[in-house]
A and B are shown apart, each in its own frame.
Chain A
């Protein structure tokens, strides 16, 4: 297992968990969502191939009312 932070909350996830699998823990939405790992954008096309590692900080963002 490894510990990663997703949107500020710690998660214990199996080794080799991908960005796509991490996002799936929060939402089934496939549009309107963007991900950064350690302050770098991970494009949608790379979600399946990008594996998280211990202590990664994952941000999953979407659009909300504002401005």
Chain B
């Protein structure tokens, strides 16, 4: 394990890129993208079993030795999310959950009230809770106090590819957080992922940017490099922004 590991709930990950599996045209394409991304933790959704379904995303993750992170996507209330998390724990044998409670179908923005309610109930039930939230520093702090293992603010709405719309708020969340901050949703391309890490996020979670790219495996490799580069840049300490030039060569002959 590298020295600079991501640690969530005491568990170490060498990769700071968490992948989602939604949007891939086939399991083969997904498999190649996951391999190229180097991810060690990847989300799945819970849905009604389809008897006609052949092949499972779980087989892909198992073959790649990638830890599964079930989400509660599609839930609109705390009650639905708690039940979905419990079903995921039963089906997948993990008490980790990406808590996602959305407010409406058009924006898919997370509902802060239902999310907080569900987080409290799931923490009390022994879950490792990773809540998907808006870029709200106050809510992030409250969720950390409630016992969440990480906070996952959005950069922009799910699947929008709009990047990080409020970098200042992400920085405020990072400054205050004692748990990992994972930038979740909104990433469009590699520079967005690098920016998240430069702002001080501990990891990036993305799906659509890779799975819906024209070449998912190549974009996955780009995201891997971007997350690593952004992390290194953050640790290196960037130069301050200046209004005027500061010569890098001697000005006198």
**Using a CB–CB distance below 8 Å, which chain A residues touch chain B?**
7-8, 26-27, 29, 32-36, 39, 41, 43-44, 59-67
Q: How far does the alpha carbon of A63 sit from the alpha carbon of B46 in the complex, in Å?
A: 5
A67→B49 contact, CB < 8 A: no
**B: number of interface residues (CB 8 Å):** 38
A65→B46 contact, CB < 8 A: no
A60→B49 contact, CB < 8 A: yes
A65→B57 contact, CB < 8 A: yes
B92→A66 contact, CB < 8 A: no
Chain B residues, CB < 8 A from A62: 46-47, 49, 56, 91
Chain B residues, CB < 8 A from A32: 56, 58, 91-92
Kindly supply a per-residue 1/0 record for chain B positions 33-75, scoring 1 wherever the CB is within 8 Å of any chain A CB and 0 otherwise. Answer: 0000000000111111101010011100000000011110100
A61→B47 contact, CB < 8 A: yes
Check A26/B49 contact, CB under 8 A, given A41-B87, A66-B43. Answer: yes
Give chain A nearest CB distance to B47 CB in angstroms: 5
A41→B86 contact, CB < 8 A: yes
Of the candidates A39, A44, A59, A65, the one whose C-beta lies within 8 Å of that of B48 is: A59
A67→B57 contact, CB < 8 A: no
Chain B residues, CB < 8 A from A36: 83, 87
B58→A63 contact, CB < 8 A: yes
Give chain A nearest CB distance to B164 CB in angstroms: 19
B21→A66 contact, CB < 8 A: yes
B56→A67 contact, CB < 8 A: no
Chain A residues, CB < 8 A from B51: 26-27
Query: Which residue of chain A has its CB nearest to the CB of B43?
Result: A67
Does B153 sit within 8 A of A, measured CB to CB?
A: no
Q: How far does the alpha carbon of A54 sit from the alpha carbon of B20 in the complex, in Å?
A: 39
Give chain B nearest CB distance to A33 CB in angstroms: 6
Give chain B nearest CB distance to A16 CB in angstroms: 23
Query: Which residue of chain B has its CB nearest to the CB of A33?
Result: B91
Chain A residues, CB < 8 A from B83: 36, 39, 41
Given A63-B91, A65-B22, 19 additional A-B pairs, CB 8 A = A26-B49, A26-B51, A34-B46, A34-B91, A41-B90, A59-B48, A60-B48, A61-B47, A63-B58, A63-B70, A63-B92, A64-B44, A64-B45, A64-B46, A66-B43, A67-B43, A67-B71, A67-B98, A67-B205
